[in-house]
Amino acid sequence: MKVLAVGGGSGGHVTPVVAVIRELKRLQPDVEVHFWCDRKFAPQARGIIRHFDSRIPVTTIHAGKLRRYNKLPLWRQLTRPSIVIPNIIDLFLVVVGFVESIFRLLFLKPDVVFTKGGFVCLPVGMAARLLRIPLVIHDSDAHPGLTNRLLASGAAAIATGAPLRHYPYPKEKSHYVGIPISSDFRPYTRDARIAMKRQLGFDETKPLLVVTGGGLGAKRLNDTVVATLTELLEITSVLLISGTAQYDELTLQFPEETNRFQLKAFVSEGMVRVLGAADIVVARAGATTIMELAALAKPTILIPNAYLTGGHQLKNAEAFAEDGAVLVLNEDKLEEDPLALARAIRDLLVDNKRMQSMQRSFFSYARPQAAEDVAKLVLSSAKKP
């Protein structure tokens, strides 16, 4: 059997693919897997796939996205050249990617296409539908994205990261499975976390704060950490995963690593060790990241990007904050008062009872069977010989 997996735009659309591929190979050892992604995220995607299995071919496809901003009125979006012109260019790239996908699919002849998310899935998914190749999609966010809404009607099966009530998809082919993550994401003992800190080169006697804004990074989040680093280092060690976009700029400010502060552009291998070592994690509110942290039972502060389409990160964060599983900070307020982050971290570190309550509540959301369930959907949807 030949399976084509597609995803891109962020690590949250690629790392779950690895978890599913691992289960596919366990359930059907002779399965042949190929992976396609967008060109912009290709370097990070290749790193993630390579560290799992360097034999899996990684191919790039032209793709484009429709820029829509949750907090910007529609009329302003339609009159801003900085939005309209890139949208026109990217629409052309979608058409190019669609034609490109048709020819590549005719050559590859997969038995099933699995799309995990990201705008690259649209041209590939549309081409698969045209060629009558079974399509399985997975939607992580509680707010369904435009790509998945467009592909859903022609999909053989739909897997969701949140309960089905959040989605407009046909119930007869939709399955709530959770978000596929590696089985390595699990709670670690205090001794294991100390060993992880030591392996990463940090002072094991100090609390460790890990800040991550995703594969391409989050400038406002990075800037908040930089502006308050002195205050943060008074209470924690800090590992800032800046993303690739701002890394070069930040290395000029922090040229040397110490046992109290480290700067990384991206972590393609061993992210579970990085997050597992942390005493507190500060992150965006991407669905995959949230599930990884939930499986680790990690005390977490979420700073959602309020400008993303549909406000899906806001909705993701709110769903967990209601239960007290995470602490949510407003990015706009942080820009006005960057020290609010340091105060929130300090308050958590001195309140062990609250930290433990957050861990228990967060861990209750973990769904460790998600990768296996998605793999079974992919195998059962494939064309039969």
Domain match, 171 and 197 both: no
Mean pLDDT of 295-301: 96
SS3 116: strand
pLDDT digits (tens, 9 = 90+) for 164-186: 888 889 999 999 999 999 888 99
Confidence of residue 79 (pLDDT cuts 50, 70, 90): low
Which pLDDT value is given to residue 135? 97
Q: Which of 115, 22, 29 is nearest to 370 (CA)?
A: 22
Please report, to the nearest 10 degrees, the dihedral formed by the alpha carbons of residues 43, 45, 51, 55 taken in order.
Answer: -90
Domain match, 171 and 233 both: no
d(CA 346, CA 139): 35
Better pLDDT: 21 or 213 = 21
Question: Which positions ≥6 away from 58 have C-beta within 8 Å?
Answer: 35, 36, 37, 42, 45, 46, 49, 50
Q: Specify the long-range contacts of residues 305-310, CB closer than 8 Å, at least 24 apart.
A: 305/218, 305/331, 306/70, 306/71, 306/330, 306/331, 306/332, 307/69, 307/70, 307/71, 307/72, 308/69, 308/70, 309/66, 309/68, 309/69, 309/70, 309/145, 309/146, 310/68, 310/70, 310/143, 310/145
Domain match, 208 and 78 both: no
Which pLDDT value is given to residue 1? 93
- pLDDT of 9 > 80? The answer is no
Which pLDDT value is given to residue 314? 83
What's the Rg (C-alpha) of the chain?
Answer: 21
- pLDDT of 294 > 90? The answer is yes
Domain match, 213 and 129 both: no
- pLDDT of 336 > 60? The answer is yes
Confidence of residue 276 (pLDDT cuts 50, 70, 90): very high
Report the domain count for the chain.
Answer: 2
Where in the sequence is the domain holding 221, given as residue range(s)? 190-363
Domain match, 154 and 270 both: no
Mean pLDDT of 105-112: 97
Regarding beta strands 237-241 and 58-61, do their DSSP bridges make them parallel or antiparallel, or are they unpaired?
Answer: unpaired
Q: Which of 2, 8, 9, 10 is nearest to 292 (CA)?
A: 10
Which pLDDT value is given to residue 43? 87
Regarding beta strands 261-264 and 237-241, do their DSSP bridges make them parallel or antiparallel, or are they unpaired?
Answer: parallel
Task: Give this prediction's pTM.
Answer: 0.78
* Residue with tokens 């399965």, as numbered in its chain: 31
pLDDT digits (tens, 9 = 90+) for 20-72: 999 999 999 999 999 999 988 888 889 889 888 889 999 999 987 765 555 55
Which pLDDT value is given to residue 157? 97
- pLDDT of 281 > 80? The answer is yes
Q: Which of 283, 311, 308 is nearest to 298 (CA)?
A: 283
Q: For the domain that residue 198 is a member of, what is the CATH number?
A: 3.40.50.2000
- pLDDT of 106 > 60? The answer is yes
3-7, 319-323, 338-342: least confidently modelled range: 319-323
Judge whether 348 and 341 are in contact, CB under 8 Å: no
Which pLDDT value is given to residue 127? 97
- pLDDT of 6 > 90? The answer is yes
Domain match, 147 and 287 both: no
Judge whether 156 and 134 are in contact, CB under 8 Å: yes
Mean pLDDT of 139-160: 88
Which pLDDT value is given to residue 309? 58
Please report, to the nearest 10 degrees, the dihedral formed by the alpha carbons of residues 288, 348, 340, 223 taken in order.
Answer: -50
Question: Which strand ranges, in their side-by-side order, compose the sheet holding 157-160?
Answer: 58-61, 32-38, 2-7, 112-117, 135-139, 157-160, 174-176
Domain match, 140 and 14 both: yes
Which tokens sit at 35?
A: 């992976």
Domain match, 72 and 143 both: yes
Domain match, 234 and 111 both: no
Which tokens sit at 296?
A: 């680790």
> In the predicted model, what is the mean pLDDT of the chain?
88
Judge whether 308 and 285 are in contact, CB under 8 Å: no
- pLDDT of 268 > 80? The answer is no
Domain match, 163 and 225 both: no
**How many C-beta atoms lie closer than 10 Å to residue 76's C-beta?**
10
Confidence of residue 295 (pLDDT cuts 50, 70, 90): very high
Domain match, 90 and 229 both: no
Which pLDDT value is given to residue 187? 94
Domain match, 218 and 115 both: no
* Percentage of residues in the chain having pLDDT higher than 90: 58
Sign, CA torsion 352/357/361/366: positive
Confidence of residue 254 (pLDDT cuts 50, 70, 90): confident
* Residue with tokens 């009159």, as numbered in its chain: 79
